[in-house]
């Protein structure tokens, strides 16, 4: 078993192994009474190489168990250079994983499968690729997503087309073995002059007769970029948009989310990958890189707005209420709200100041020079998060990021926030369903405390509550499976 990292930035309630590299969540599935969360994993170092599928499971989204590595590259095989992203389904008493087989020098990643009859402890790979070749006219091809709809098995595969468009390609099957290509399910804007893009990790959720397609935009020059959500209705095997595509998360450190439908409920859960926002050398010193976001509930409003909020089960993680403050902000003197732990859940109601900005500061150094700032800008109609002073270590990335918040423009309107901070990750949710995820790395001498402030003359009303979060304990089995996985 790997020795746990002693890095104080290692999250306490977000899923990840104790050491080494993590990226995309994969294979989210409910099977035999457990939620299963697989993920891209290098068990040997905190860098993107030797990609396996790691594996967690939980009966309740609160208590977790880390199972042996599910998929490992087969030397000399089709996946010799990595078992890349995909998903999994529960069928006929078994888990069936669909994934991208990576070989260095092959520009496409063909689709293949592995199956488990013991709840994901051991796996057998199919002897031949499931879909060995991409369709003509593609320049990128990877990341299958399989689901059942109207009695059919369907698959989306992320792609880039030769004309520069990103695409989610649709396949269908009656038996999970023989798949027929149906063409692009939807593509990015073909407008002349648009920058080329590829779509990774397509995910699809249905809400009645409406569909939500989530894709991770991949830039041919710079790699992973951001996540886009497309809403529409399916007609003849194509998703017809009913709204303009928008960003799913407004932060800089969120990518490759994956979906899971809660069994017996009309509820979709989502996990994403939050990458590091510090120098690689620092991550190597710490011995780990990457974390999964908290599970989120994905919603679709009547007006087509896609929203997210922390999964309701996570309220069970709240421990002692460490802070409660109600009052009015006025003048230039900040209001001291109290101390918080390094892992906390905060709920706030803040009215915008029409003549300035109203803000919360998470101060992490005794002298106040290190802080994360969250503010409402009434003029711009934005929620703004500034991490420019969030770490005294220059190896941490800075930057200011915004979420649209039209209510901030209306004087006296209450804006509701939920902020979950877990040592080096912050997930900031507006009650409207907008989210911003970012990483930050405080090194100050603490203790951590909250402060509120307004810059305008109009003043602002504020109510804040915060709870310490109980650390998630993850029971671990040996992380590398001992049996051969190929046939």
Residue numbers annotated as active site? 24
Both tokens of 355, joined, read 């003549």
Determine the Cα–Cα distance for residues 36 and 55; give it in Å rounded to an integer.
7
Q: Which of 427, 467, 449, 429 is nearest to 334 (CA)?
A: 449
DSSP H helical ranges for 224-345: 280-286
Return contacts of 225-233, CB within 8 angstroms, 24+ apart: 225/197, 226/254, 226/255, 227/254, 227/255, 227/256, 227/257, 227/272, 229/306, 230/186, 231/300, 231/304, 231/306, 232/186, 233/209
Is the separation of the CB atoms in 228 and 196 below 8 Å? Answer: no
Q: For residue 468, what are the β-bridge partners?
A: 344
Determine the Cα–Cα distance for residues 192 and 34; give it in Å rounded to an integer.
47
Is the separation of the CB atoms in 181 and 173 below 8 Å? Answer: no
Length of the chain: 487
Neighbour count for residue 294 (Cβ, 10 Å): 25
Q: Which of 434, 336, 296 is nearest to 376 (CA)?
A: 434
Residue written as token pair 């309740």: 60
Both tokens of 134, joined, read 């991409």
* 408 φ/ψ angles, rounded to the nearest 5 degrees: -65, -20
* 188 φ/ψ angles, rounded to the nearest 5 degrees: -75, 175
Determine the Cα–Cα distance for residues 227 and 293; give it in Å rounded to an integer.
14
Which stretch of DSSP H or E encloses residue 151?
none
């Amino acid at each position: 078993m790997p020795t746990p990292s002693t890095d104080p930035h290692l999250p306490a309630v977000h899923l990840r192994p104790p050491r080494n590299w993590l990226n995309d969540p994969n294979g989210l599935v409910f099977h035999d009474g457990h939620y299963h969360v697989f993920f891209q994993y290098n068990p040997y170092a905190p860098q993107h190489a030797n990609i396996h599928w790691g594996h967690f499971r939980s009966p309740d989204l609160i208590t977790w168990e880390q199972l042996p590595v599910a998929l490992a590259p087969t030397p000399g095989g089709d996946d010799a250079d990595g078992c890349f992203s995909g998903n999994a389904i529960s069928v006929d008493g078994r888990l069936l994983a669909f994934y991208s087989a990576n070989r260095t020098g092959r520009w496409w990643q063909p689709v293949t499968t592995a199956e488990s009859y013991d709840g994901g402890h051991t796996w057998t790979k199919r002897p031949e690729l499931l879909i060995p070749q991409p369709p003509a006219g593609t320049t990128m091809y990877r990341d299958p997503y399989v689901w059942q709809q109207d009695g059919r098995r369907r698959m989306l595969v992320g792609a880039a087309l030769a004309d520069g468009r990103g695409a989610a390609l649709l396949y269908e099957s009656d038996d999970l073995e023989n798949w027929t290509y149906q063409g692009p399910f939807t593509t990015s804007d073909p407008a002349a002059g648009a920058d080329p893009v590829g779509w990774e990790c397509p995910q699809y959720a249905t809400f009645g007769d409406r569909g939500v397609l989530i894709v991770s935009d991949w830039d041919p020059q710079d790699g992973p970029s951001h996540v886009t959500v497309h809403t529409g209705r399916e007609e003849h095997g194509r998703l017809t948009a009913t709204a303009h595509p928008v960003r799913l998360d407004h932060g800089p450190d969120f990518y490759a989310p994956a979906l899971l439908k809660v069994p017996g409920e009309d509820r979709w859960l989502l996990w994403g990958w939050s990458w590091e926002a510090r120098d690689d050398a620092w991550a190597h010193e710490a011995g780990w890189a990457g974390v999964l976001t908290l599970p989120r509930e994905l919603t679709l409003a009547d007006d087509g707005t896609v929203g997210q909020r922390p999964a309701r089960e996570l309220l069970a993680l709240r421990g002692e209420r460490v802070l409660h403050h109600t009052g009015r902000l006025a003048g230039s003197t900040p209001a001291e709200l109290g101390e918080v732990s390094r892992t906390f859940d905060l709920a706030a109601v803040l009215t915008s100041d029409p003549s300035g900005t109203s803000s919360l500061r998470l101060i992490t150094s005794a002298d106040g020079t290190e802080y994360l700032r969250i503010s409402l800008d009434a003029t711009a109609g934005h929620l703004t998060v500034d991490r420019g002073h969030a770490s005294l270590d220059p190896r941490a990335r800075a930057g200011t990021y915004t979420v649209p918040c039209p209510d901030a423009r209306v004087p006296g309107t209450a804006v509701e926030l939920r902020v979950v901070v877990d040592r080096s990750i912050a997930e900031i949710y507006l009650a409207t369903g907008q989210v911003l995820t970012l990483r930050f790395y405080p090194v100050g001498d603490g203790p951590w405390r909250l402060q509120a402030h307004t810059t305008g003359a109009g003043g602002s009303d504020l109510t804040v509550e915060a709870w310490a979060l109980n650390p998630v304990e993850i029971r671990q089995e040996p992380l590398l499976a001992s049996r051969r996985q190929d046939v």
